[in-house]
């Protein structure tokens, strides 16, 4: 089996487990679903489940730990002439387009399920927190600052995470009729303008 085919099969299995976890929790609630249930719905063994996710909650949230540093890597690769804000805005535009392009029901179902279970909200925030720490390090490198000693890298990384989360909440509130990339861009427009109060 070629490495490309092997990787595609792994991604397909991971997606099948994530979708199974979401569907089952939507049907039965979080406490009514076990790892065995998820593995059975996805057509794999419980042992295979643990090759992809450490816990049931992680399978439901479904964000790959290896993707946590993706935003930081993309940020570091942006052209040097862009300001940190411009670079982050471009990174988030790309991420939003990818999220909106996932299987049509994936993010809507994920957000609805997570919104109904506070423990999953905490898990999602932990994932976002890891991503923000990696991003802060990349911002520090780009700006010649130091995480911890200087406010800028940690503050910008945190604000960028809030922008994405606010856009996701607005997407959920619109019943997914709005464009996620447009909502993310709107969040950055408001931030870049200095957070002016909305006019009635």
CA atoms of 33 and 27, how far apart (whole Å): 9
pLDDT tens figures, 75-94: 999 999 999 999 999 999 98
- Which residues, listed in sequence order, are joined to residue 147 by a DSSP beta bridge? 150
Burial of 124 from C-beta contacts in 10 A (0-12 / 13-18 / 19+): buried
Contacts of 164 (CB under 8 A, 6+ apart): 92, 95, 96, 184, 187
pLDDT tens figures, 35-72: 999 999 999 999 999 999 999 999 998 876 666 678 89
pLDDT tens figures, 91-106: 999 888 887 776 556 7
CA-wise closest residue to 142 among 88, 68, 70: 88
Of all residues in the chain, the percent with pLDDT exceeding 90 is 52
State the pLDDT at residue 66.
63
Using DSSP, state whether 82 is helix, strand or coil. coil
pLDDT tens figures, 100-141: 776 556 778 888 898 888 888 888 888 888 888 999 999 999
Per-residue pLDDT at 1 exceeds 60: no
Q: Mark out the alpha helices in the chain (DSSP H runs).
A: 3-28, 35-42, 46-52, 56-61, 70-77, 84-100, 106-115, 118-143, 151-173, 180-192
Per-residue pLDDT at 143 exceeds 90: yes
CA-wise closest residue to 127 among 56, 67, 169, 194: 67
CA atoms of 107 and 146, how far apart (whole Å): 35
State the pLDDT at residue 106.
76
Instruction: Using the structure block, give the residue that is written with the tokens 């861009």.
Output: 185
Per-residue pLDDT at 192 exceeds 90: no
State the pLDDT at residue 102.
67
Q: Which long-range contacts (CB under 8 A, 24 or more apart) does 91-96 make?
A: 92/160, 92/163, 92/164, 92/184, 92/188, 93/181, 93/184, 93/185, 95/70, 95/71, 95/164, 95/184, 96/164, 96/167, 96/180, 96/181, 96/183, 96/184, 96/185
């Amino acid at each position: 089996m070629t490495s490309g085919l092997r990787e595609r099969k792994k991604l397909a299995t991971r997606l099948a487990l994530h979708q199974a976890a979401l569907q089952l929790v939507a049907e039965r609630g979080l406490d009514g679903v076990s790892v065995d249930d998820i593995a059975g719905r996805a057509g794999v063994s419980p042992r295979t489940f643990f090759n992809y996710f450490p816990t049931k909650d992680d399978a439901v949230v479904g964000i790959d730990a290896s993707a946590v540093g993706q935003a930081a890597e993309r940020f570091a690769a942006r052209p040097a002439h862009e300001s940190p804000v411009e670079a982050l805005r471009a990174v988030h535009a790309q991420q939003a387009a990818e999220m909106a392009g996932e299987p049509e029901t994936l993010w809507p179902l994920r957000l609805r399920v997570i919104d109904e279970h506070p423990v999953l909200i905490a898990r999602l925030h932990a994932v976002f927190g890891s991503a923000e720490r990696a991003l802060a390090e990349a911002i520090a490198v780009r700006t010649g600052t130091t995480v911890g000693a200087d406010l800028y890298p940690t503050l910008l990384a945190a604000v960028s995470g809030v922008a994405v989360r606010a856009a996701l909440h607005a997407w959920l509130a619109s019943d997914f009729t709005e464009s996620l990339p447009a909502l993310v861009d709107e969040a950055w427009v408001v931030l870049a303008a200095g957070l002016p109060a909305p006019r009635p």
